Each structure stands twice: as C-alpha cells, then as structure tokens.
Amino acid sequence: MRKFTIKEHEGNCLCGAVHFVASGDPVVVAQCHCVECKKTSGTGHTTGAMYSLDSVQITGAISKYSYVAANGNNVTKAFCPVCSSPVYGTNSGNTEHLTIAVGCMEDIAEFTPEVVIFSDNKPHWDLIDPDLPAFAKQPNWKPENEA
C-alpha cells in the first residue's frame, strides 16, 4: 500500500540562519501593496503564502517588529536578525495562520499569486496579472474552508 505524503516546501533566509518547512499547499497566495509591505520589502509589494500555524516549522532565531494596521489589527513582521530577510508575518485578526514570505521559498515558482490586496497603493510600474482578483484595501476575508 502506498503511503499518502504531503508535499513539504522548504525555505531559508538569505544567510541561512532561519530555516522553515511548510507542509502542503498554502491556504492562499496573496500579493500585498500596503504601505507597510512596500517598506519591508523595499519594493512595490510583498508576496505571501498563508499557512495554518501547525503546518509550518521554523528553526533559527527570529526578530519581530509589530505595528497597528489601518484596520486596527496588530501586524507582526518576523525577520532574520542576521541578514534581515523577511520570513513571515502574523495578524491579530487571524491568529490561526501565518504568512510566509514567498521569496524565501526554494520552490518559489509554485507559489503563483491568487489575489492582490491594497491595489489602491500599487505603484503604476509594479505590474500584476490583470486577471487576478484585486481588492482596493484589505478584504474582510478569513480562511474558513480549510480541510
């Protein structure tokens, strides 16, 4: 009998001090153009893969920075204290999940964005797939249909 296995996605920060393994497919892959994501990414957006907390294992020391987002939620950005690569983010409005920085994924090509948020804040030169659903601000959306 064949054993069912869930695909694991591995990732590292730039220096390798932080390593993570995410099990299975993400709940959603979102591209965010909010003011804070532009600053932490150093460019026009972040791309994040949302996973439930229990499907991600992270090893290595992490530094965190928290702020209050426009909708009042507390958002925490976690990054490597050595190389400052963004690793993941959490949001007080959705405590069951975290969002991994897709740029740290080894198989980044598998994480195609499915939705765009804060499209109002998108610089005109940051081109996105025009067929993607886009929300001008943060949509009032929570993952509820998880297996």
Binding site for Zn ion (CB under 5 A): 13, 15, 17, 32, 34, 37, 80, 82-83
By C-beta, is 70 or 83 nearer to Zn ion?
Answer: 83
SS (H, E, C) the chain: CCCCCCCEEEEECCCCCCEEEEECCCCEEEEECCHHHHHHHCCCCEEEEEEEHHHEEEECCCEEEEEECCCCCEEEEEECCCCCCEEEEEECCEEEEEEEEHHHECCHHHCCCCEEECHHHCCCCCCCCCCCCEECCCCCCCCCCCC
Least distance to Zn ion, CB of residue 91, Å: 10
By C-beta, is 22 or 37 nearer to Zn ion?
Answer: 37
Least distance to Zn ion, CB of residue 47, Å: 10
Least distance to Zn ion, CB of residue 51, Å: 17
Least distance to Zn ion, CB of residue 90, Å: 12
By C-beta, is 24 or 66 nearer to Zn ion?
Answer: 66
Q: Are 90 and 78 in contact (CB under 8 A)?
A: yes
By C-beta, is 24 or 133 nearer to Zn ion?
Answer: 133
